[in-house]
Amino acid sequence: MTVTNLDNLQATTQESVLMRTEQLSLSYGKKIAFEDVSIAINQSKITALVGPSGCGKSSFLSCLNRLTDLIDNCRVTGRIFLEKWDVMNRQIDTIALRRRVGHIFQKPNPFPLDLWKNFAFPLKEHGVKNRQEIDLIVERVLKDVGLWHEVKDRLKDSALALSGGQQQRLCIARALALEPEVLLMDEPCSALDPISSGVVEDLIASLRQKYAVLVVTHNLAQAKRIADYVGVFWVRDNRGKLIEFGEAKQVFESPQHDLTAAYISGHRG
Amino acid sequence: MKQEIIKSPISTILVWLVAVLVTGTFAWILGDIIFHGVGGISWEFLTTAPEDAGRSGGIGPILVSTGLILAVAMGVSVPLGVGTAILLAEFTSATNWFGRFVRRSLDILAGVPSIVFGLFGNAFFAKTLGLGFSILSGGLTLACMVLPILIRSAEEGLRGVPDELRLGAAALGLSRTATLFHLLLPAAIPGLLVGLVLGIGRAIAETAALVFTSGYVARMPQSLLDSGRSLSIHIFDLSMNISGGDTNAYGSALVLVILFLMINATAAWLAHQSSSKYNDSYQFR
């Protein structure tokens, strides 16, 4: 049994959809990374994308804030909407788009500056110039990610001196400082040790209250723990496809697709 | 990680021999210059004008001319070089035809003998632009000569900055200009400094290109349009054309070597400062 794209959308139309894609495809040169992916990302929900490596999950994420613009040889077709806003339109202000849609990478990537400047630099570029105001934002977002008490006395130290888990939380805080509406997270825990990974996972779960979160993960157990909606990517004919999308409970308990069933039971993938 | 040590005695001896040969040659040259030159150096030697065609007296005006020529050369080539490097590294892809064309041209230019640069400088700066034999002509000629070195090492420095920094900055909605000035250039500073040292090294040692452009005049220069004799030309002149000039030639050579070692050490120290601030933790995380 196959799931059509319309079904994917209907699964979530009751909720408040913040961002959606319609038949999105991406190719690097002649190689198609994924095609025909239509999903909806809901306000105050966590949507997880799972599936084996190389099926285009990370590339899909990069389309949503047009980070694909920076990659040579990369072509995206289909449509993306952020509320009523046509993200694929060449004329749109990508700087404003990326402020509304934050992106957390697999490998923590703090800037090689001190902690405070990691926040001040992007904030200043986005027009927040007042020092006191920046200080307030830094304190608020660092508290949000549970890092404030660990680093409040070392704001002048290099961000690279932090541990991997702290760096990742710093990067999340840095994204939150710009007050995004959507957070894209590309395997945010996979480069971390188990304890840091647990801390970051709890953090992601708590972000649900304020943000629409789209998280790519290899970790099915993690998706089960935190996701409200789950999309399953799979490689077919050498290209990524979204084979199933729906509420997490439904996907995990009564998957519609044979491959999904095999994947979540551990037989495939 | 401990490397496996090569046990073969022959290869051990060979490797050591090569290392000893390289350092030995350098030590010999340096020792010879110090041995012959150190007696001639004094505060007076550094500040007074040469007399009797350089056989006696000092190198004051020559130091000033050298400094001015270097300042002109670096003042022109560094901004141009860094700008070109930014264009090549950040605004053209590695496979772009224009970038490849520029890069290939630079490699060829870097291999052109300095005497050719001298003739070009003489024809273009001294004659066509009417600058005559002057510090300006010499400095501009040297600028052309060191540009390829500066550009390539600055470009390498920029390309060495991890892409995750560019993507991370773009994902936060930062413009390319802001990313360039706040993140990429600071991270590329060690590479830029290496280029600067190589460039200064080549410029300060240059003789052939200056013979035709900045000239021989050993007087204290009054302006950039005056002819001025550089240290390297002074050494060349004393040892080749002036009988009895050897002592002062050695003295000048020692000054030149010390100058270059000082520039080198300063740059190494600066590179260390900035890399311990920016890059180390990236590489060894």
- pLDDT for A59 equals 92
Nearest-Cα distance to chain B for A105, in Å, is: 8
- pLDDT for B5 equals 62
Distance of alpha carbon B66 from alpha carbon A197, whole angstroms: 60
A105 vs B: CB within 8 A: yes
Which tokens go with B2?
Answer: 């401990």
- pLDDT for B114 equals 92
- pLDDT for B278 equals 52
Number of Cβ within 10 Å of residue A132's Cβ equals 7
Share of chain A above pLDDT 90, in %: 67
- CA angle (A85, A87, A92) in 5-degree steps: 85
Which residues of chain B carry a pLDDT beneath 70? 1-7, 275-285
Binary contact (B175, A125; C-beta < 8 A):
yes
Smallest Cβ–Cβ distance between A109 and the set B95, B168, B175 belongs to: B168
Which residue on chain B is closest to A183 by alpha carbon? B171
Distance of alpha carbon A2 from alpha carbon B265, whole angstroms: 69
Using an 8 Å Cβ cutoff, are B73 and B144 in contact? no
Which residues, 6 or more positions from A74, have their beta carbon under 8 angstroms from its beta carbon? A26, A27, A28, A68
**DSSP letter (8 states) at residue B49:** P
Using an 8 Å Cβ cutoff, are B223 and B132 in contact? no
Smallest CA-to-CA distance from A121 within B162, B173, B275, B182 is with B182
The sign one gets for the Cα dihedral B41, B46, B50, B54 is: positive
Smallest Cβ–Cβ distance between B173 and the set A107, A158, A178 belongs to: A178
- pLDDT for B283 equals 39
Mean pLDDT (chain A, rounded): 89
**Whole-Å CA distances, A40 to A49, A154, A248:** 12, 40, 14
Binary contact (B172, A161; C-beta < 8 A):
no
pTM to 2 decimals?
0.80
- pLDDT for A177 equals 95
Domains of chain B are 63-230 (1.10.3720.10)
B281 vs A: CB within 8 A: yes
Q: How far apart are the first and last CA of chain A?
A: 19
A233-253 b/e (C-beta count within 10 Å ≥ 16 → b): bbbeeebbbbbbbbbbeebbe
Q: Say if residue A40's pLDDT is above 80.
A: yes
Q: What residue has token string 């395997």?
A: A187
Q: Say if residue A263's pLDDT is above 70.
A: yes
Distance of alpha carbon B284 from alpha carbon A103, whole angstroms: 25
- pLDDT for B80 equals 95
Read off the pLDDT band of A15 (50, 70, 90).
Answer: low
Q: Say if residue A8's pLDDT is above 70.
A: no
- pLDDT for B276 equals 62
- pLDDT for A73 equals 85
Q: Say if residue A55's pLDDT is above 60.
A: yes
C-alpha Rg value of chain A to the nearest Å: 19
Q: Say if residue A206's pLDDT is above 70.
A: yes
B186 vs A: CB within 8 A: yes
Binary contact (A158, B168; C-beta < 8 A):
no
Distance of alpha carbon A87 from alpha carbon A63, whole angstroms: 9
Give this complex's ipTM: 0.86
Single-letter amino acid, residue A127: G
3-class SS of residue A101: strand
- pLDDT for B277 equals 56
Which tokens go with A229?
Answer: 């909606």
Name the phi and psi angles at A184, rounded to 5.
Answer: -100, 130
Nearest-Cα distance to chain B for A175, in Å, is: 7
Which tokens go with B219?
Answer: 């007087």
Which residue on chain A is closest to B91 by alpha carbon? A70
- Which uninterrupted H or E stretch holds B13? helix B9-37
When pLDDT is averaged across residues A182-206 and rounded to a whole number, the result is 90
Which tokens go with A99?
Answer: 């402020």
Read off the pLDDT band of A46 (50, 70, 90).
Answer: very high
Topology of domain A5-111+182-264 in CATH is: Rossmann fold (3.40.50)
B7 vs A: CB within 8 A: no
Smallest CA-to-CA distance from B69 within B191, B198, B196, B209 is with B209
Torsion of CA A141, A144, A150, A155, to 10 degrees: 0
Mean pLDDT (chain B, rounded): 88
- pLDDT for B64 equals 94
